[in-house]
Amino acid sequence: MSDATRLSVFKTYKLYVGGKFPRSESGRVYEVSDSKGKWLANAPLSSRKDARDAVVAARKAFGGWAGATAYNRGQILYRVAEMLEGRRDQFVREVADAEGLSKSKAAAVVDAAIDRWVWYAGWTDKIAQIVGGANPVAGPYFNLSTPEPTGVVTVVAPQDSSFLGLVSVIAPVIATGNTAVVIASEKAPLPALSLGEVLATSDLPGGVVNILSGKASEMGPHLAAHQDVNAIDLTGATEGDLARDLEIAAADNLKRVLRPRTEDFAESPGTDRMTAFLETKTVWHPTGSLGASGSSY
């Protein structure tokens, strides 16, 4: 068969939940177009049931991921960057289509996203020294504070930064031992769904990151009120009063909430996105003769 008569094999985009690639249980899809209105693909339109399944997967993965050594988490994040480097051309095409960028500008965005993974990989075994340590107290005690991950975090990804912004909100969540349920950009979900393919073939355990495509206004309120979600990042909740509504829903079980703010994801990140989803555990231990028994409080 000549090239002139060959039909293209269109890519089928799927969700990424629990290390697997399900279609939405509802069977719904929606059309994704480029910046000029040209059809690119059909993306799954996730339902509330998909969101619940993602939370179950994230909770199941949390114990193992939080219990892994910080060094091991850093190795895995670096491995993700390695694999993105190998699929760089694919992501350049998808980002160019999603954001209406030239090939050179899209390449710069993808390179920055890969570098962002490496940056957070380097922080996994250092953040504890920044936010933890020994505290001076009056009395014969050691007083030590150490950070621990918050738990399952829902992330509403940025709407206009389909890849660099996406990486910038996912990587800090999992670098510190949390697991994530991510609602991808509604208008540009394809780079996020392709990222799921990279995560699945890296060393990242299934369920640590779960990626849903569709409407944040549909899934967001359910996830914000979900009793097994511990925190929510509202970065991409920019539609109408969505951020306010999700924050109110999150108050049902006192979730940690990271409110949306104006950000330039191209700028060097700080540590605030990592510390936003950390809890501090403080241990008191007697010293001297009181500490001979090795007891702690």
Under the banding of pLDDT at 50, 70 and 90, the label for residue 289 is low
Strands (DSSP E) contained in the chain are: 29-33, 39-44, 133-134, 141-149, 152-156, 179-183, 209-212, 231-233, 256-258, 278-286
In whole numbers, what is the pLDDT of the chain averaged over residues? 91
Q: What is the pTM of this model?
A: 0.90
What are the tens digits of pLDDT across the range 202-233?
A: 999 999 999 999 999 999 999 999 999 999 99
Are 86 and 108 in contact by the 8 Å Cβ rule? The answer is no
| Rounded mean pLDDT, 123-144 | 79
| Rounded mean pLDDT, 99-103 | 95
Under the banding of pLDDT at 50, 70 and 90, the label for residue 242 is very high
Return the pLDDT at 295: 45
Q: Tell which residue, 44, 3, 53, has the closest CA to residue 24.
A: 44
The span from the CA of 26 to the CA of 3, in Å, is 37
Q: Residue 297 pLDDT more than 70?
A: no
Q: Residue 292 pLDDT more than 70?
A: no
The percent of residues above 70 in pLDDT, for the chain, comes to 93
Return the pLDDT at 3: 59
Domains and CATH numbers, the chain: 12-291 (3.40.605.10)
Q: Tell which residue, 268, 267, 249, has the closest CA to residue 257.
A: 249
Q: Residue 31 pLDDT more than 90?
A: yes
| Rounded mean pLDDT, 95-111 | 96
Return the pLDDT at 132: 66
Q: Residue 95 pLDDT more than 90?
A: yes
Under the banding of pLDDT at 50, 70 and 90, the label for residue 4 is low
The span from the CA of 250 to the CA of 252, in Å, is 5
Return the pLDDT at 205: 97
